[in-house]
Chain A
Amino acid sequence: MSVQMVQLEHVTKEFDEANVVDDINLDIRAGEFLTLLGPSGCGKTTTLRMIAGFEKPTSGKILLNGKQVDDMEPYKREVNTVFQSYSLFPHMNVYDNVAFGLKMKKVGKDEIRERVTKALKLVQLEEYGNRKPKQLSGGQQQRIAIARAIVNNPKVLLLDEPLGALDLKLRKQMQLELKHLQQTLGITFIYVTHDQEEALTMSDRIVVMNKGKIEQIGLPREIYENPTTRFVADFIGQTNIIEGTVTAINGDKATMEFSGQTIEIPNSQNVALNEEAFISVRPEKMKASAVPFEGTINLKGTFKERIYVGSVTKIVVTMPNGKELTIHESHDNIEELTNTNDVYVSWNPKNTVVLKK
């Protein structure tokens, strides 16, 4: 049985009578890399700030390592935060920044020196102790902020969009470094981001939030391949959401009518006879061709356009009812399609995901 490191029980936070965080329940295991993912204003940062102690929940309980902490001051909690703007102390040099937390805890001088040196080494900046934060690049400042937090051996490390200010290449590199660091240290990481790719790359589990509520909790692969709600399907990656009426249910299968054609979908609790159903199919799971494929779902439409986007080519096909479907094809698989052609959009039925209404 894994140990619950952080537990949120019915946590709600109100600002000006609006629920920014709305009745959240969440268990975070010791040693896991958990990401809170969602658009801005979804409540992910507020949730993090409540765990850190900068905000008090309006109602509900927060437990840290089994102890209730929601009334505890931030400086008494065994968590440390890496801030979005780094928040390094500009009047101290790098060494003193990293040593700050240990000095507050009255750790002995020799031990401070040893631990700070080790932390700086861990982020590969051991030579920079005498510099002021302003003399470092954004990526280096970011690393110092991480060193300043982990030098305290926190039970939980909270990271609030820590890579947001870095350029794309550095961000990708830091994502992997952070992931490796987390594995090396075995500390529980709670990571906040609005970047779905970042979340998929780094996390053990992802919590997708929207409007103060949790939409879905799952492994990166589950979140991407089996989104349960329209929000998650739409927010994580690109997808085609197809809406139709269920015309028949037959065991574990059902038939949906869409734009004058039928699609076979898996039966689920979100499927009911004569009612609307929503399915999601990823663009990379679809193919566009001039003739229908055997043994797959085929929808007939007309070719609209082709867009080269580097890694793949996007093909847009218009359905008879005007709905546009987007397909991602690798460059070597593209058939010659022109707008005079009828185009068949096809996919394997196992790639159909039924969403909640």
Chain B
Amino acid sequence: MMRPRTKKILFSFSLLVFLFFYIPIIFVVIFSFNDSKLGTVWTGFTLEWYGSILQNKQLISATMNSIYLAVITTIISTILGTLAALALHRYTFIGKKSVEFLFYIPVVIPDIVVAVALLAIYGLLNMSLGLNTAVPGHVAITISYVMLVVLARLSSFDNSLEEAAKDLGANEWQTFWKVTFPLIFPGVLAGALLAFTISLDEFVISFFTLGPGDNTLPVLVYSMVRLGVSPEVNVLSTIIIAIMFIVVFVVGLRMRKGGEAK
């Protein structure tokens, strides 16, 4: 049993951590309804900024760019990361440990290094920057996450299930789609979601490798904030928070359901 005093201290500490995380977010949400252009003093309630944001063409195109990049990145990273995980799980080869280690490096390497390196390569190849030049950078930093998550899922995968499938007449292709993939799917989905959010959130690489006219949401917000935090930025943040909240909630609910079915 925990002593009542210890329990109280622990509770207060947890509460402080919680507040530390959420107070800024709550402020952003509240000030998105603030009837003032300056955004630091509360002057009254309004929905005006929610209307004006829909008219902001720059913002809309940046949002579309961000989603486009995130979708392309997620598709490429999920496929390649899953295949890499399957290869590392299934085969033993010389230098396997080193290859595995190489996949961990992008997780710890600063984004700025990836950004600068890519910029140097593009310069070397004389490529002009555009929206798609940000894709390789986004893939490079997200692919490791997908691979690690899928590899973790595979570590609990019983290889004799594949043998059982083949024993029952399934060829390699059928075995993969009927047995292996359904069983690693939660890992693949988690990896894809990670890749999507990381890409949506990515600033440094996008900032360096996007073409002059192309903006993603984080890059646009950065340029907007340089002129002071406008209520529109608060509105945008609120919308993103709401979307993320719903996504996490739905995924959490589904995972819980899946857990019970087992």
B182 interface hit (Cβ, 8 Å): yes
Residues in A whose Cβ lies below 8 Å from that of B174: 104
Residues in A whose Cβ lies below 8 Å from that of B158: 85, 87
Quick check: A75 and B183 within 8 Å, CB to CB?
no
Most buried by A among B164, B171, B178: B164
Q: Name the residue on A nearest B175 (C-beta).
A: A75
Quick check: A89 and B166 within 8 Å, CB to CB?
no
Q: Name the residue on A nearest B179 (C-beta).
A: A89
Quick check: B166 and A73 within 8 Å, CB to CB?
yes
Q: Name the residue on A nearest B171 (C-beta).
A: A75
Most buried by A among B165, B167, B174: B167
Q: Name the residue on A nearest B174 (C-beta).
A: A104
B168 interface hit (Cβ, 8 Å): yes
**In chain A between 123 and 150, which residues have their CB closer than 8 angstroms to a CB of chain B?**
132, 134, 148-149
Q: How far is the CA of A121 from the CA of B92 in the complex (A)?
A: 43
A160 to chain B, nearest CB (A): 9
Quick check: B168 and A152 within 8 Å, CB to CB?
yes
A207 interface hit (Cβ, 8 Å): no
Residues in A whose Cβ lies below 8 Å from that of B178: 100
Residues in A whose Cβ lies below 8 Å from that of B166: 53-54, 73-75
Contact of A132 with B261 at beta-carbon distance under 8 Å, contacts A81-B164, A85-B158, A87-B158 already known: yes
Contact of A87 with B164 at beta-carbon distance under 8 Å, contacts A132-B261, A132-B262, A134-B262 already known: yes
Residues in B whose Cβ lies below 8 Å from that of A85: 158, 160
Quick check: A89 and B170 within 8 Å, CB to CB?
no
Quick check: A74 and B163 within 8 Å, CB to CB?
yes
Contact of A75 with B170 at beta-carbon distance under 8 Å, contacts A91-B183, A132-B262, A134-B262 already known: yes
Most buried by B among A73, A84, A104: A104
Quick check: B167 and A80 within 8 Å, CB to CB?
yes
Q: Size band of the A side of the interface?
A: 20 to 34
Residues in A whose Cβ lies below 8 Å from that of B167: 52-54, 74-75, 79-81, 149
Quick check: A104 and B170 within 8 Å, CB to CB?
yes
Residues in A whose Cβ lies below 8 Å from that of B169: 75, 101, 104-105, 152
**In chain B between 55 and 70, which residues have their CB closer than 8 angstroms to a CB of chain A?**
none
**In chain B between 140 and 169, which residues have their CB closer than 8 angstroms to a CB of chain A?**
158, 160-161, 163-169
A90 interface hit (Cβ, 8 Å): yes
Residues in A whose Cβ lies below 8 Å from that of B262: 90, 132, 134
Q: How far is the CA of A336 from the CA of B261 in the complex (A)?
A: 64
A94 to chain B, nearest CB (A): 14
A83 interface hit (Cβ, 8 Å): yes
From A74, A90, A101, A104, B183 is in contact (CB under 8 Å) with A90
19 interchain pairs, CB-CB under 8 A: A53-B167, A73-B166, A75-B166, A80-B168, A81-B163, A83-B160, A83-B164, A84-B160, A87-B158, A87-B164, A90-B161, A100-B170, A100-B178, A101-B169, A104-B169, A104-B170, A104-B174, A132-B262, A149-B168
- Listed from nearest, the 3 A-B pairs whose CB atoms lie closest are A101-B168, A104-B169, A87-B164
B: residues with CB less than 8 A from A are: 158, 160-161, 163-171, 174, 178-179, 182-183, 261-262
Please name 11 further chain A to chain B contacts, defined as beta carbons within 8 Å, in addition to the given A73-B166, A89-B161, sorted by A numbering.
Answer: A52-B163, A52-B167, A75-B166, A75-B167, A75-B170, A75-B171, A87-B158, A90-B161, A100-B170, A104-B170, A148-B168
